[in-house]
Amino acid sequence: MSDNPVFEQLQNEVDDNDVVLFMKGTPMFPQCGFSAAVVQTLTMAGVKFKGINVLDDMETREGVKQFSNWPTIPQLYVKGEFVGGCDIIREMESSGELKQLFEEKGVEYAN
Amino acid sequence: MTIEEQIRTKIEEALHPKHLEILNESHMHNVPSDSETHFKLVIVTDQFDGKSRIERHKIINNLLALELSSQVHALSLLTLTTPEWDSNNKKIQPSPKCLGGQKTGLSTKAH
């Protein structure tokens, strides 16, 4: 697991930021509908999050799939913990579990 | 065998679903009209009892690892137990609209 140098970089990102979204494109200009849907959900929830564009770097794009043991993008991390991809986030949003998770974890909210 | 048939066979054999829908959503994306690149699966099986969303998705991702690493670029999943499916009123949330990763020429693959 730790033999991939990209993993350390990914670990640092999820350690240093309360909410991290690995996505295609940027929060301002998502390049995939699934990524855009999660950006919208996080924006509505009002949390501060860091979007990391996996299209910027092929090693990140492939590395994050192994890092999370998850084959698709987007991927959401909250306080260092993998929460899921687009379907899971949208289901959690509908059921109120996402809001609850953010509150329980005490994440930082956007101004 | 088409990819769709391949997916159906694997899931039926492994999970004996009470309900299985395989929606080929490739037509919503910027790919040739007969493509099998984007799928949404609705899987209802008692084998999901007591499992988290991540665990359920991982079962499917592992079953379809070969397809996901080759032709299939996007896989949207709704994974429910029979009681969840009944109380869900058998509703399926629409997939997000494609933002045309390929169309913009900014990335080589949409997913």
Domains of chain B with bracketed CATH: 3-104 (3.30.300.90)
A48-86: pLDDT as tens digits? 999 999 999 999 999 999 999 999 999 999 999 999 999
Residue A32 lies in a domain: yes
Tally Cβ neighbours within 10 Å of residue A23: 26
% of chain B beyond a pLDDT of 70: 89
CATH number of the domain within which A81 lies: 3.40.30.10
Residue A111 lies in a domain: no
Task: Please judge whether B93 and A90 are an interchain contact, meaning their C-beta atoms are less than 8 angstroms apart.
Answer: yes
Q: Which domain holds residue A50?
A: 5-104
Q: Across residues B38-45, what is the average pLDDT? A: 96
% of chain A beyond a pLDDT of 90: 95
Residue A109 lies in a domain: no
Using CB atoms, pick whichever of A34, A82, A88 lies closest to residue B96: A34
Burial class (CB in 10 A: 0-12, 13-18, 19+), B30: middle
**Confidence class for position B30, pLDDT limits 50, 70, 90:** confident
* Per-residue model confidence (pLDDT) at position A2: 58
* Per-residue model confidence (pLDDT) at position B85: 93
Residue A95 lies in a domain: yes
Crossing angle of the two packed helices A86-95 and A97-105, in degrees rounded to 10: 90
Contact status of B96 with chain A (Cβ, < 8 Å): yes
**Confidence class for position B96, pLDDT limits 50, 70, 90:** confident
Checking DSSP bridges between strand A19-23 and strand B38-44, what pairing results, if any? unpaired
Contact status of A111 with chain B (Cβ, < 8 Å): no
Contact status of A74 with chain B (Cβ, < 8 Å): no
Considering its fold, how many domains does chain A have in total? 1
DSSP H or E run through B3: helix B3-15
Min CA distance, A96 vs chain B (Å)?
15
Residue A56 lies in a domain: yes
Residue A110 lies in a domain: no
Report in angstroms the alpha-carbon separations of B19 from A25, B8, B11, B64. Answer: 35, 11, 11, 18
Task: Please judge whether B96 and A30 are an interchain contact, meaning their C-beta atoms are less than 8 angstroms apart.
Answer: no
* Per-residue model confidence (pLDDT) at position B100: 65
Those of residues 24-53 in A touching chain B at CB distance below 8 A are 24-25, 30-34, 36-37
Residue A54 lies in a domain: yes
Residue A23 lies in a domain: yes
Tell me if ipTM is over 0.85.
Answer: yes
Residue-averaged pLDDT of chain B: 88
